[in-house]
Amino acid sequence: MANNLLLVMGSGNRDEANFENGEVFNIHRENSKEHLSFGYGIHFCLGSQLAKLEFKTVLEEVTRLIPDLKIKKN
């Protein structure tokens, strides 16, 4: 039985003025710290630590339930 996991990103972080090939997911992008996810400074998201903990928990549970899960490149 094949298990698929779909990760969906919103429209943020796709501004071609800030991110070359903004539509392409690239974890090695040199300016990846400039993304919009949780902000910083006076615009820091107060819930970011909770969101990170929740995401960690989800990843742990998914990998526990589907131990042979692999990342598929298109």
Tell me: pLDDT of 11 over 70: no
- In degrees, rounded to 5, the angle at the alpha carbon of residue 34 between the alpha carbons of residues 29 and 35 is 85
Looking at residue 18, its pLDDT comes to 78
At 25-46, the pLDDT tens digits run 787 888 877 766 666 677 677 7
Looking at residue 53, its pLDDT comes to 92
27 falls within a domain: yes
Looking at residue 36, its pLDDT comes to 65
Q: How many CA atoms lie within 13 A of 26 on its CB side?
A: 13
Structural domain containing residue 38: 9-74
pTM of the model as a whole? 0.47
3 falls within a domain: no
Domain count, the chain: 1
At 42-74, the pLDDT tens digits run 767 778 888 889 989 999 999 999 988 887 776
Looking at residue 51, its pLDDT comes to 85
